[in-house]
Structure 1
Amino acid sequence: MPWPSIAHCTADRAEYEAAAGRLFAALQEGRLRAAEPRTYRLAQAALAQADAEARRTTGSVVLIP
């Protein structure tokens, strides 16, 4: 099953661009904030996988060499 995307919520390109404009304005104004990625050392890759599977993470998970 495909992941939902903004394309499922907008009727056409103009509506998509308007929604994107509102999103980026909210980010710029500080009304929304992007989640900081969760980082793990490469030696902790198994823990990173376990945390992701257990839904203890949100957003990106980054392994640091």
Structure 2
Amino acid sequence: MTERRFQAKAVAKHMQKHFPNCPPVHRDEIVRRVAERTWQNASIGRAVGITVTNYVRHRLTE
């Protein structure tokens, strides 16, 4: 199993490319969450996708 961590700068760049209209307050929180976690067998895209999905589900919906 490959463990990896992603630098906040790389995550922010990925977010800007794939989620350009994401409000900064949400983007910054997602970047923080991705960067602080150790990921198992995940690309940066998968890590961001999982985090965005969970963030929206738990923080932005009832």
Question: Which one has the bigger strand percentage?
Answer: 1
- Name the structure with the higher helix share: 2
Larger RCO, structures 1/2 (Cα 8 Å, 6+ apart):
2
> Do they superpose with TM above 0.5?
no
Q: TM-score scaled by structure 2?
A: 0.32
